[in-house]
Amino acid sequence: MDTLSAAARSRSRLIFDPLELRYNFGAHHPLQPDRIVALMDLLEQTGMWHSNAEETSLPLRPATLAELSLAHTPDYITAVQRLGVREDAGASEEERRERAKLALTYGFGDGDTPALPDMHEVCAAIAGGTLVALSAVLGLPEGGVFDSEEARPLHVFHPGGGLHHAWSNRASGFCIYNDAAVAIAHVLRASEMKVLYIDFDAHHGDGVQRAFYDDPRVMTISLHETGRYLFPGTGEVLELGNGLGRGYSVNMPLEPFTEDASYIEVIEHLLPPLVVSFAPDVIVSEHGCDTHAWDPLTHLELTMRGIQAQIKMAHHLAHTYCQGRWVALGGGGYDPYRVVPRAWSMVWAEMAELPLPEQLPEAWIARWRPAWLAMEEREMAAQQLMGKAPAETDFPATFQDRPGAFPAQERQWEIARANRRTASLVRSLLVPPEVRQAFPARRQHSPLSGLF
């Protein structure tokens, strides 16, 4: 079976524009645009997607100022526009101080999220991509014109999206414009539909939560590493929403070193009853893959198996409860060669109902392994300077992680028990009793029983 024909029949589209690669904070920043380049190359080499295949692509267009203003303040948008213009070499000292003050005021004053050249244009394109994606699956005019209802996509994947930390009035956590918030706010203005946003990133989806904290038309669910040890330090269970939005903000903080078994138990325990209780019209999911054990910025221990389970869950929920309407976004992921391309290829394969190859293409490995080795050499040198022993790892040859690649945590059962207690608390607070009865919790008697 031709994979592109199968993808077209599944009514799935992918959004990618080379302009998005200019979202680039520099060679030494954790967020590397190479991860998108490596992803698109992997999809091409496996035959799962081709850049010239219109039937599986959806063009983006920049979000307008009016659309950006649905989620961002006018003064912040103006600051993004001004700071995106290169500083004049002949600027006076006073002008330089004013520019530095502007950067500090709006979140660009530290090394995390520095100002980018032309960042308004680049970030408006990313926000527009997610807005087009969500509008397309909902049949809104901004999603484009299709020959028939059957030609309208049910699923859209926008790997360049998922910049979930940006606030309405400041940049944060590598994020400038909050594309998901812009797109969801547009849907709320243009329709009566309810939106479920599920954030699978290791970092709490604080920016999207903030945007809809008092709005009962949006349920935000974030499954993330606890903020006790990780940026942004938020996402506690009792962050439940405000006013009419109380009960529509859901947070599941996971223990550090959470592994696949506990993670899968949590998503199976929590997500279906929450979706049933909210009854959304569409699902937007953010698939930051910094939950993987190889990610250098976080402390979760998922393998590709756990990541694939979350993707399959999002797809299942969309078809079971939302007539298939599903938009998937990228997000975090700071192992740009070994993790991100494999994880996000799984998103597209699941969405387009394509078979996932067992082996990574040899030509793809030959292209990207040297880039990873160069990055590893820099990391090893830094580790040695700090007196740390570098970890012994290698470049994967398969989509799934090699069995035994990650030693089991000695505290696995204790970690799983803590996650189970947190998930039970979330259920008791936010899932109505009659729904809880329809989705009874499974009782685990060992770390592994009933999970596979």
- Residues annotated as catalytic are 165
Distances (CA, A) of 22 to 160, 171, 283: 11, 17, 28
CA separation for the pair 375, 44 (Å, rounded): 24
Tokens of 224: 């993330």
Tokens of 187: 């849907």
CA separation for the pair 38, 223 (Å, rounded): 26
Helix axes 260-278, 304-321, angle to 10 degrees: 10
Which H or E element spans position 13?
A: strand 12-14
Indicate the burial class of 229 (C-beta count within 10 angstroms; 0-12, 13-18, 19 or more): exposed
Instruction: Please provide the DSSP assignment of 279-303 as one string.
Output: --SEEEEE---TTBTT-SS----B-
Tokens of 239: 């962050």
Residue 441 neighbours by CB distance under 10 Å? 15
User: 185, 70 in Cβ contact below 8 A?
Assistant: yes
